[in-house]
């Protein structure tokens, strides 16, 4: 049987982080705050400030919008 030093590297790395996160107290709260902030940034703000401009358009209309935007910004 292999001892702890002979385990493959990915298993040792996973175990290191797993043990570290399990022993956290304040870190768990900070990770929760971080995940909530990421959710707000990528989900809520996207829905509010970046609406889908191509929703409900036909393929021809979508193509024309994309072409005009590419030409305009060129």
Measuring CA to CA, how many Å separate 46 from each of 39, 42, 63, 64? 10, 6, 23, 24
Alpha-carbon dihedral 41, 47, 48, 49, rounded to 10 degrees: 80
The whole domain housing 40 covers 4-72
pLDDT for the residue 33:
93
- pTM exceeding 0.75: no
Burial classification of residue 9, based on how many CB atoms lie within 10 Å of its CB (0-12 exposed, 13-18 middle, 19 or more buried)? exposed
Among 3-7, 38-42, 70-74, whose mean pLDDT is lowest?
Answer: 3-7
Q: What is the pLDDT of residues 17-56, one digit of tens each?
A: 888 888 888 888 888 999 999 999 998 888 888 878 788 8
Angle at 36 between CA 33 and CA 42, to 5 degrees: 135
pLDDT for the residue 74:
63
Structural domain total, the chain:
1
């Amino acid at each position: 049987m292999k001892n702890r030093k002979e385990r493959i590297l990915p298993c040792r790395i996973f175990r290191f982080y797993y043990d570290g996160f399990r022993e956290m107290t304040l870190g768990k709260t900070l990770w929760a705050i971080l995940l909530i902030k990421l959710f707000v940034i990528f989900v809520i703000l996207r829905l509010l400030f970046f609406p889908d401009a191509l929703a409900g358009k036909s393929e021809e209309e979508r193509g024309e919008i994309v072409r005009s935007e590419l030409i305009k910004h060129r």
